[in-house]
């Protein structure tokens, strides 16, 4: 038996299975990664940059193969899958380009005689526990900065992404990393806990659900290991004013349906000021209803299936439960297997379960508010704090709202604007760390003080 299998969500067909590693294989992986950390950490940054840049090049050379795997594993539309691989390559290249900056000594202004610097040194072997929703991108944003600073990677991918896991390991190996520089493991949760506890492993990063993050953090805490958490979100999309409401609505549709609605930082709660509410909702419902869930292998497909039947059934339960508790279904709410129609709820109150839940699929909730203050209060009334979106024609209002929102990221008058140089992460139950940008390279390093007379 194995938990690692490619089950095509569009067809329900099991296309491949992979054996879970034995304990002996896990031991070998940890030993190789720990050994490689010695030589890789001592490799000059410029030489590491050459290898990291080759990893990016191989992503581009194998983009079609990687994209096809992603479509099979989690149902992402093929055009979006190709875009994901390209973005992963951009991220990896960013760290090759900036390796001197992220590894350079940081001088300190000494209050007295002598000198002092902060020198960043790698920690060693790290464990990454990755999710299924972005099989290539998620790995790139963890692995690239850590390889650049001289750490090595043990990678446990999601059980439904074993083919991506193997293809990515081949890329990292073929790029010229030392044996053990990047090691894929088909590990159980229990084996992952063993890896975290191993003294040769110096940190763990997990991207996934609150439950997964809490479980990993508990093990890491018991073993005094640094842990980075990137977890869920229920991002607000606030509309306070608009010169072109049609454009704002299209941004809302795009933000909700991106990645089949399965993005942690996808807009999920639409908070609309009273004077725009009725027109916005009319246009938003029409925009969502115009999109059909279709075969993800078609080049023009915008919305594919959810990643699994279990995910579709979970979303159906949330929508049905909300309606049973008094919410109004404005559009959608139906599915055929894993294909879920774009869905919008209204009249959701704090007493309903869905008020504090994350909807991980093409479904959202719309709220009417009186003014800016009520919008910010509602936006912050959530256990999550990942991303947020603010649409306004008033620059001063944009600054006030951005300052008031409890989130790791605020995007003003735009969506889908992630970029390699922009740090990604949240607060509250959305996580504890940052990936992407220069901040990502500071998560797993020894910021060593060197003080001289």
Sign of torsion over alpha carbons 301, 305, 307, 311 = positive
Element (H, E) at 138: helix 137-149
Three-state secondary-structure class, residue 229: strand
Three-state secondary-structure class, residue 47: helix
Residue 96, by phi and psi: left (phi above 0), alpha (psi -120 to 50) or beta? Answer: alpha
What span, in angstroms and rounded, lies between the C-alpha atoms of 329 and 30?
A: 50
The answer to whether residue 161 is catalytic is: no
What span, in angstroms and rounded, lies between the C-alpha atoms of 200 and 130?
A: 20
The answer to whether residue 264 is catalytic is: yes
Is 409:415 a contact under the CB 8 Å cutoff?
no
Is 78:296 a contact under the CB 8 Å cutoff?
yes
Three-state secondary-structure class, residue 393: coil
Q: Please give the sequence-ordered ranges of beta strands (E in DSSP) within 48-168, or none if there are none.
A: 106-107, 115-122, 125-129, 152-156
Q: Which tokens is 386 given?
A: 């990942």
Q: What are phi and psi of 112, to 5 degrees?
A: 145, -155
Is 407:386 a contact under the CB 8 Å cutoff?
yes
Q: Which tokens is 182 given?
A: 């990047």
What span, in angstroms and rounded, lies between the C-alpha atoms of 234 and 376?
A: 14
The active-site residue out of 73, 93, 230, 357 is: 230
- Paired residues of 364 in beta bridges: 344
What span, in angstroms and rounded, lies between the C-alpha atoms of 287 and 49?
A: 45
Q: Is 278 exposed, middle or buried (0-12, 13-18, 19+ CB in 10 A)?
A: exposed
Is 347:225 a contact under the CB 8 Å cutoff?
no
The active-site residue out of 73, 264, 357, 372 is: 264
What span, in angstroms and rounded, lies between the C-alpha atoms of 137 and 153?
A: 15
Q: Is 79 exposed, middle or buried (0-12, 13-18, 19+ CB in 10 A)?
A: middle
Is 185:26 a contact under the CB 8 Å cutoff?
yes
Give the chain's length.
453
- Paired residues of 129 in beta bridges: 156, 206
Is 385:426 a contact under the CB 8 Å cutoff?
yes
Element (H, E) at 5: strand 4-7
- Which residues are known to be catalytic? 230, 264
């Amino acid at each position: 038996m194995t938990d690692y299998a490619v089950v095509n969500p569009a067809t329900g067909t099991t296309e491949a299975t992979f054996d879970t590693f034995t304990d002996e294989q896990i031991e070998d992986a940890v030993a190789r990664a720990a050994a490689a950390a010695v030589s890789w950490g001592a490799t000059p940054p410029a030489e590491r940059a050459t290898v990291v840049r080759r990893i990016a090049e191989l992503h581009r050379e194998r983009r079609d193969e990687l994209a096809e795997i992603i479509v099979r594993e989690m149902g992402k539309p093929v055009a979006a899958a190709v875009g994901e691989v390209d973005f992963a390559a951009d991220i990896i290249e960013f760290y090759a380009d900036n390796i001197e900056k992220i590894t350079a000594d940081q001088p300190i202004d000494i209050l007295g005689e002598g000198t002092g610097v902060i020198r960043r040194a790698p920690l060693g072997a790290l464990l990454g526990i990755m999710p299924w929703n972005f099989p290539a991108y998620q790995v790139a944003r963890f692995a690239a900065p850590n390889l650049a600073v001289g750490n090595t990677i043990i990678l446990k991918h999601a059980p439904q992404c074993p083919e991506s896991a193997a293809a990515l390991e081949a890329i990292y190996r073929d790029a010229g990393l030392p044996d053990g520089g990047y090691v894929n493991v088909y590990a159980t949760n229990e084996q992952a806990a063993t890896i975290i506890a191993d003294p040769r492993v110096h940190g763990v990063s997990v991207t996934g659900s609150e439950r997964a993050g809490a479980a990993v953090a508990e093990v890491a805490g018991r073993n005094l290991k640094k842990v980075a958490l990137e977890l869920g979100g229920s991002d607000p999309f606030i509309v306070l004013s608009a010169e072109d409401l049609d454009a704002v609505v299209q941004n809302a549709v795009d933000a909700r349906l991106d990645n089949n609605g399965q993005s942690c930082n996808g807009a999920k709660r639409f908070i609309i000021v009273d004077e725009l509410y009725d027109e916005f909702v009319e246009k938003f419902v029409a925009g969502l209803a115009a999109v059909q869930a279709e075969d993800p292998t078609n080049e023009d497909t915008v919305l594919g299936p959810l990643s699994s039947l279990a995910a579709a059934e979970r979303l159906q339960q949330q929508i049905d439960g909300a309606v049973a508790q008094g919410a109004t279904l404005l559009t959608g709410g139906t599915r055929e297997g894993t294909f879920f129609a774009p869905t919008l709820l209204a009249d959701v109150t704090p007493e309903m379960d869905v008020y504090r839940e994350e909807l991980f699929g093409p479904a959202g909730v719309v709220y009417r508010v009186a003014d800016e203050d009520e919008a910010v209060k509602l936006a912050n009334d959530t256990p999550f704090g990942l991303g947020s979106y603010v649409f306004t024609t008033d620059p001063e209002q944009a600054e006030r709202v951005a300052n008031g929102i409890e989130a790791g990221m605020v995007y003003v008058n735009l969506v889908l604007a992630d970029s390699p140089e922009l740090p990604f992460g949240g607060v509250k139950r959305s996580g504890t760390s940052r990936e992407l940008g220069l901040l990502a390279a500071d998560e797993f390093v020894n910021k060593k003080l060197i003080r001289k007379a």
